[in-house]
Amino acid sequence: MTEHIDSVKTYALVLIALLGLTVATTLVAFVDLGNFSVVVALAIAVTKMLLVALFFMHVRYSTRLTKLVIFGGLMWLAILLLLTLTDFLTRGWMGVPGK
């Protein structure tokens, strides 16, 4: 199995993109977007994570099995968050008896 190695230029571009996104996160923090600010911050974070995984961690050129393992890990994180949220988001639906 031969390992694909990106050019220095690609790595440099990814690095610049990551630094740029970090600056963007900081700048957005100073703007009041209401509830939307969390969405923006998380969107930037996910983009950065994808860049690191795809380029620096070579996932882009990895086998399908490796991709499946990564997808599995993310799926399990989603299970943890989603099923926990079924509790936190619905707790208020039933009133407290007597109140």
Partner 1 sequence: MTTAVLQERTHYLNNGYGLKSWLLTKDHKRIAVLYFITISIFFALGGVFASLIRLELVTPAGDLVSSETYNKLFTMHGVIMVFFFLIPSVPATMGNFFLPMMIGARDLAFPKINLLSWYLLIAGGGFAIFAMMAGGVDTGWTFYTPYSTTYSNTYVIATALGIFIAGFSSILTGLNFIVTVHRMRAPGMTWFKMPLFVWANYATGVIQVLGTPVIAVTLVLVFCERVFHIGIFDPALGGDPVLFQHLFWFYSHPAVYIMVLPAMGVISELVSTFSRKPIFGYPFVAFSSVAIAVIGFLVWGHHLFVSGQSLYAGLVFSFLSYFVAIPSAIKVFNWTATLYKGSISYATPMLYAFGFIGLFTIGGLTGLFVAALGIDVHVTDTYFVIAHFHYVMVGGTVMAYLGGVHYWWPKMTGRMYPEGWAKLSALFIFVGFNLTFFPQFILGYLGMPRRYHAYPPEFQVLHVASTAGATVLAVGYILPAIYLAWSLRYGPVAGSNPWGATGLEWATPSPPPTHNFDRIPVVTHEAYDYTAVPQEVEVV
Residues that bind partner 1 (CB under 8 A): 65, 72-73, 76, 79-80, 83-84, 86-91, 93-94
90 to 10, 38, 53, 84, 97: CA distances (angstroms): 46, 21, 34, 10, 16
Q: Where are the alpha helices (DSSP H) in 1-99?
A: 8-29, 36-51, 64-88
Structure token digits, residue 53: 């995984």
Residue placing its CB nearer to partner 1 in the complex, 29 or 82? 82
Q: How far is the CB of 87 from partner 1 (least distance, A)?
A: 4
Residue placing its CB nearer to partner 1 in the complex, 8 or 87? 87
55 CB neighbour count, 10 Å cutoff: 19
Q: How far is the CB of 97 from partner 1 (least distance, A)?
A: 12
Residue placing its CB nearer to partner 1 in the complex, 49 or 79? 79
Q: How far is the CB of 88 from partner 1 (least distance, A)?
A: 8
